Amino acid sequence: MSCRRRHRLAFGLLAALSALAAPGVAAAHASGVNYRSPLPVWLVGLGAGLAVLASAPAAAFGLGERPRERTGRNLYPALRRAHLGAAGLALSCALLVIAVVGGLFGVQEFFDNPATILVWVDFWVGLGIVSALVGNVWDFVSPLSTLGRALDRRLAARGASVLPYPPRLGVWPAVALLLLWTWLELVWDPAKEPRTLVLLALAYFVAQLAAMALFGTEVWLARGELFTVFARTLARFAPLELYVGAPAGPCRASRCRDDERIGCPACWLEAEPVQRGLRVRAYGSGVEREPPLGAGGGTFVLAALATVVYDGFSQTDLFAADVQGFFLERSSWLGLHIDVLDTILLVGIVACFALLFYAVAAIVSLREPGSAGDAARRYAPTLIPISAVYFVSHYFLYLVYTGQLTLAVILDPLEREWVPDYAIWTGLPGALVWYLQVGLIVWGHVVAVFAAHKVVAADRDRGPLDALIAQLPLVLLMVAYTFVGLWVLGQALTPR
């Protein structure tokens, strides 16, 4: 595909991609389809919020005090012969090589280079969608995890010891990296330059391997490797569950209880093949079945949600005219340093989400033993379904449309005209896009309400009515998230 042809396609594609943040307006430019909701956005948001609110009594009186979890049979023996992990690892390594070579020596344009397409589109968006809708695949196809585990074995053979990981540090390194990654994606334009992106990726590889050598690979993967923490977090919503039949030793990641090893790749890989299990579960059931998030885990979930909301909101007319405009009218310096303003707004939105949740947790803690921090840690995992479905609804069309450039950049990473021109299909019906997004967001919030009830119902002394009252502040917060999410999706866009 020629550079000129691909740029022409990319220009038209940008309008289609705007459906991610506002299917009601801008995606019509791509295919002639009206993406606007047939009803006012506020009315759709109100109806969706009421549906989420109504799910709270359904959970309290329908599930009872001790809801039973159902899972399927072990699928691993049948899948083991397919060697899917080895095939996926080989593919990811090959794509990594192509991205590095193309990023360093190919054409330095976003839509023409394998580094930018493979990293920002296929990897980042695909990682979140697959982790949320299928399961934790990344742990088994990640070149970085494979290198880290090989490094672990090499150091162990030499008798090298690792440093104890500070418990209070928790997943805060991953929180910081998530904010940095989002800043690179949404604020700092040089990160969209292929060569810069590759150099950043190589530096990340080196830093992560150094941390793995210091603290142990499995310990660091569970706390400090951004993409592993992200994949494992969203995979708690997914329907595929890893488990170990009969644990033989302590958890290498120091996260699992001795008698239960669910959703822990470290324990799963350490176990004998006959003890490994993979089964189907209900969406969202991993929220309370898997090990605790750890210190900072709740903030990670909130940051994952808030950064996607910021991504959508930052593309709207309202953001440019009212939010940015408010500050620019009062500071000419910020007008000359717009990246500083966008950084402040990004951090501010994440902080608002975190503080609002902490305030709700403080209200909930009035009816429970323990502090507001204890309540926040207890209920933070129930927001994972919301974060998962909002990520999917916001980005899935981006992957469907821009992902079509993947074949061209893989087969012609240096832009040598090896691939003939081909058109990008952008004909997904607009009404279908809108209703899929609405359905996903409502579904995820309802799952979150049921998950919150299961946490409340863990207190066996509570009846359904008492449990409903106890979780009401959190349910109201989820209703607010539903309305805000749909409202952001329905705003008019500012062309970029």
Q: Please give the angle made by the CA atoms of 448, 308 and 144, to the nearest 5 degrees.
A: 95
Closest CA to 113 of 422, 424, 416, 398: 416
**Residue 495 included in any domain:** no
**Residue 496 included in any domain:** no
**Residue 280 included in any domain:** yes
The terminus-to-terminus CA distance of the chain in angstroms comes to 24
452 vs 79, which has greater pLDDT?
Answer: 79
pLDDT band at 14 (very low <50, low <70, confident <90, very high): very low
> What does the block give as tokens for 491?
């705003």
Most confident of 32-46, 146-160, 254-268, 425-439: 146-160
Does the structure show a pLDDT above 80 at 63? no
Per-position DSSP letters for 270-315, written without gaps between them? HS-GGGEEEEEB-TTTHHHHSPP--TTHHHHHHHHHHHHHHHHHTT
Task: Summarize pLDDT for 396-411 with one digit per residue, the tens.
Answer: 888 999 999 999 999 9
Task: Summarize pLDDT for 362-409 with one digit per residue, the tens.
Answer: 888 887 777 888 888 888 888 898 899 989 988 988 899 999 999 999
Token pair 């750890």 in the structure block, residue: 294
For residues 133-156, give the mean pLDDT: 94
**Residue 18 included in any domain:** yes
- Asked if 436 contacts 35 with a C-beta cutoff of 8 angstroms, the reply is no
For residues 61-66, give the mean pLDDT: 55
Question: Lowest-pLDDT range, 28-37, 108-117, 273-282, 397-406?
Answer: 28-37
At residue 56, the pLDDT reads 61
**Residue 23 included in any domain:** yes
Task: Summarize pLDDT for 167-217 with one digit per residue, the tens.
Answer: 889 999 999 999 999 999 999 999 999 999 999 999 999 999 999 999 999
**Rounded Cα gap, residues 20 and 312, in angstroms:** 7
Check: pTM over 0.85? Answer yes or no: yes
**Residue 378 included in any domain:** yes
**Rounded Cα gap, residues 485 and 494, in angstroms:** 18
Question: Lowest-pLDDT range, 2-16, 91-105, 319-333, 339-353?
Answer: 2-16
- Counting the structural domains of the chain, the total is 1
Determine phi and psi for 127, rounding to 5 degrees: -60, -50
CB-based contacts of 259-262 (< 8 A; 24+ apart in sequence) = 262/286, 262/289, 262/290, 262/291
**Rounded Cα gap, residues 120 and 116, in angstroms:** 6
Task: Summarize pLDDT for 254-288 with one digit per residue, the tens.
Answer: 777 766 788 889 888 888 888 899 999 989 888 88
Does the structure show a pLDDT above 80 at 144? yes
**Rounded Cα gap, residues 171 and 68, in angstroms:** 30
pLDDT band at 12 (very low <50, low <70, confident <90, very high): very low
**Residue 494 included in any domain:** no
Residue partners of 301: CB distance under 8 A and separation at least 6: 233, 293, 380, 381, 383, 384, 387
Task: Summarize pLDDT for 345-359 with one digit per residue, the tens.
Answer: 999 999 998 898 888
For residues 468-487, give the mean pLDDT: 77
**Domain membership of residue 268 as a residue range:** 3-489
Average pLDDT, the chain: 82
At residue 21, the pLDDT reads 35
Identify the three-state secondary structure at position 240. Answer: strand
At residue 19, the pLDDT reads 36
Question: Lowest-pLDDT range, 28-42, 64-78, 136-150, 304-318?
Answer: 28-42
**Rounded Cα gap, residues 376 and 67, in angstroms:** 22
Q: How many helices (H) and strands (E) does the chain have?
A: 25, 2
**Rounded Cα gap, residues 392 and 142, in angstroms:** 21
Closest CA to 291 of 313, 266, 273: 266
Does the structure show a pLDDT above 60 at 458? no
At residue 271, the pLDDT reads 87
